[in-house]
Amino acid sequence: MRIKRLIASLALCLALPVVAFASEGSEKAAASFDRGLTVLSQGDFDSALAAFTEAAKSDPENQNYRQHVALVSRVKQVRGMLDKEQDPQKWAQIAKSLRSFYSDFDVYGEALKLDTKRHTKLCTPETGVDLAESQLELGRNAEAVKVLASLGAKTPPRGKLLNGIALARMGDLEAAKKIAKESGVPVTEDLQQVFDAACLNALVGNTAMAADQLTLVFEKTPAGRLDRVKAYAKQRADLAKLKGAEFEKVWAVASKVESSGCAGCSGAAGCSKKSAGGCGSDSGGCESGASGEKKEGESCDKDK
């Protein structure tokens, strides 16, 4: 009996430092990872890569850290390629991929620079909306209004919502309400558009509608991304009116997106036999097809 107790005590003494060491590694990794996300949003790719690398080394079991190292490494390469690319079609594709990354990681300083170039070169409604979005994220409301106004009749639904948000922030609630009323309830699979509608409705005081729209966004966001989306929504000043006690259940909404029942699958929605598509040029987004490269002297408001 004494020997059994001795063995158990020894095992505990050996296990505790191992556990402590392991958890220390995880904590260090998490801190490095958070630091990486912060400096990345400030546009410092080198520091972000160093931080993610440190996280991955501190916690080799965590695949998420490795994925971020791979992602930022690749994006750094792609950024270098953008400046050298001469083919307008390829340039547009590279720019679109970078824009998506900047949006995902809130790197709106870089997004603004890119969007300005994109809209100047390509001058499409999509590039105009992206530029307005970057300006809004950086609080440049008046500039966003100007860009969206330049799109004229070609302003897409999302552009109208962003315009409403900008006007509401600038104090022109009447105009913003009018836009909110005209936009109604977006019937779209584009969750970003529904989110923007929620922000606009919250700003103009249609809190019930805003709450419904935000609920829809949360329900349709895959579970693996929901926390990030909620965190972003919580820090968004436009949704301040939805933070009262009566809206608690909105923030508690869970994802209703089906995830795979497959034991080996890390949450993807089903084990589809159909390929999700790779980095193929045939699957969308040839922005230069509409207007081509801007000619010297031509402005981007030719539709006015």
Partner 1 sequence: MTKKKKRKPTPRRTTRRLVQLGFLALTVVAVFALGANAELWCPFGGVEAIYTYATDGTMPCSLGVSNFFVMGALLVSVLLLRRAFCGYVCPIGAISELTRAGGKRLGIKPLTVPRKLDAVLSLLKYPVLVLILYLTWQAAELIFRAFDPCYALISRNGDDITFWAYVVSGGILVGAFFLSVPFCRWLCPLAAVMNPFSRFGLTRIKRNEEVCTSCGLCTRECLMAIPVDDVKEVTHARCYSCYDCIEACPPNAKGSLTLETAFGSGRPWSQWRVVLIMVLLLAGSVYASYAWPLPSYVQQRGEAVDEPGSVELQILGVKCRGSAAGVWEMLQRDDEFGLGDYVRMEAWPKPGSGRVKVYFDPSVCDGEKVKAAITSATYDFATGEWVSPSYQIEGYDPYGLNE
Side-chain-side CA neighbours of 18 within 13 Å: the count stands at 6
State yes or no: residue 56 binds partner 1 (CB under 8 A): yes
Kindly tell me which of 6 and 268 has the beta carbon lying closer to partner 1: 268
Integer Cα distance of 143 and 137 in angstroms: 12
- Site for partner 1 (CB under 8 A): which residue of 104, 246, 248, 258? 104
Our finding on whether 285 is near partner 1 (CB under 8 A) is yes
- Compare residues 81 and 240 and give the one whose CB is closer to partner 1: 81
By CB under 8 A, tell whether 259 contacts partner 1.
Answer: no
Place of tokens 């809206």: 247
Among 283, 295, 296, 297, binds partner 1 (CB under 8 A): 283
Applying CB under 8 A, does 269 fall inside the site for partner 1? Answer: no
Q: Does 66 bind partner 1 (CB under 8 A)?
A: yes
User: For the packed helices 108-122 and 88-104, what is the interaxial angle rounded to 10 degrees?
Assistant: 150
Q: Which residues contact 52 (CB under 8 A, 6 or more apart)?
A: 32, 33, 36, 65, 68, 69, 72
CA distance 168 to 279: 39
3-state secondary structure (DSSP) of residue 184: coil
Cα distance between residue 91 and residue 100, in whole Å: 14
Q: Residue 84, interface with partner 1 (CB under 8 A)?
A: no
For the bound state, the minimum distance from the C-beta of residue 153 to partner 1, rounded and expressed in Å, comes to 26
Pick the binder of partner 1 from 9, 16, 46, 60 (CB under 8 A): 60
Identify the helix (H) or strand (E) that includes residue 257: none
Whole-Å CA distances, 215 to 54, 180, 222, 302: 37, 18, 13, 39
Q: Which is nearer to partner 1, 174 or 190 (CB)?
A: 190
Between 264 and 297, name the residue whose CB sits nearer to partner 1: 264
- Binding residues for partner 1, rule: CB under 8 A, are 53, 56-57, 60, 63, 66-71, 73-75, 78, 93, 96-97, 100-101, 104, 260-265, 268, 270-271, 273, 275-281, 283-285
